[in-house]
Amino acid sequence: MNVTIVDYNSGNISSVINSFKEVAKDKVNIEVTSDLNKIKSSDKVVLPGQGSFKSCVHALKKIDGLVDTLHEFAINNKKPLLGICVGLQMFADVGFEETETKGLAWISGKVSRIDNQNGKYKLPHIGWNQINIVKDSKIFKDIENYSHMYFVHSYEFVPEDKSVISATTDYSSNIVCSVEKENIFGTQFHPEKSDKIGLKIIDNFLNI
């Protein structure tokens, strides 16, 4: 099986790469690339994202044909894709970080700033927090509810269709921290920084 981690110059993704390689061992070939043909021929794709919504979308669009290739992979061919952090946020129609920026429009919704209740809650939301699993998701197989995951974000994905939400976390309000829609999966938290439970989530994705 070939799994591609999309490298589109969106910040340091070494921990994502290391975690996937640790879980994959020799069973799975992990490739880190933005080569369109390699993405097309992959069995699964991981879309990481660090920095702002705007900077990540612009970095994706800078690589000619990459957005179309990802769309073909996930939407047309229905192959499994996992978005991490801003990788998940980019599934939305639009994001409002820095300026209004169009997303990939794979899951209807918007990405807006977390309501920190006039400074009562610090932003970014950073560190370990519990997740509440709200629907059976393939990536949560054998994961206990209220497990702790590692977060770093100031913006949240608000999907229009609440049925795509697979987990939430409580920070100033109920924040969507995981989605599943058919073959598309996304986590707002960082599984690659979430210790053994995070590695189990990566393993679950590789086993889909």
Helix (H, G, I), strand (E, B) or coil at 153: strand
Q: Beta strand 173-181 with 44-47: parallel, antiparallel or unpaired?
A: unpaired
CATH superfamily label, 2-206: Class I glutamine amidotransferase (GATase) domain (3.40.50.880)
Query: Is 98 an active-site residue?
Result: no
Told to judge if 190 belongs to the known catalytic residues of this protein, a careful annotator would answer yes
Model confidence at 12: pLDDT above 90: no
Residue 177 is among the residues annotated as catalytic for this protein: no
Domain boundaries, the chain: 2-206
Whether 11 has a pLDDT exceeding 90, the answer reads no
Read off the pLDDT band of 96 (50, 70, 90).
very high
Q: Which DSSP letter does residue 160 get? A: S
What element of type H or E holds 47? Answer: strand 44-47
Q: Which residue among 56, 85, 153, 177 is the active-site one?
A: 85
For the full predicted model, state whether its pTM sits above 0.85: yes
Catalytic residue among 97, 125, 156, 190: 190
pLDDT band at 10 (very low <50, low <70, confident <90, very high): confident
Residues in Cβ contact with 196 at an 8 Å cutoff, skipping those fewer than 6 apart = none
How many CB atoms are located within 10 Å of the residue 124 CB? 12
pLDDT at 146 over 90: yes
The answer to whether 208 touches 44, Cβ cutoff 8 Å, is: yes
Position 84 confidence tier, pLDDT thresholds 50, 70, 90: very high
CB 53 within 8 Å of CB 61: no
pLDDT, residue 27, reads 86
CA-CA distances (angstroms) from residue 175 to 1, 42, 171, 194? 34, 32, 7, 18
For the residues 158-185, what does the mean pLDDT come to? Answer: 97
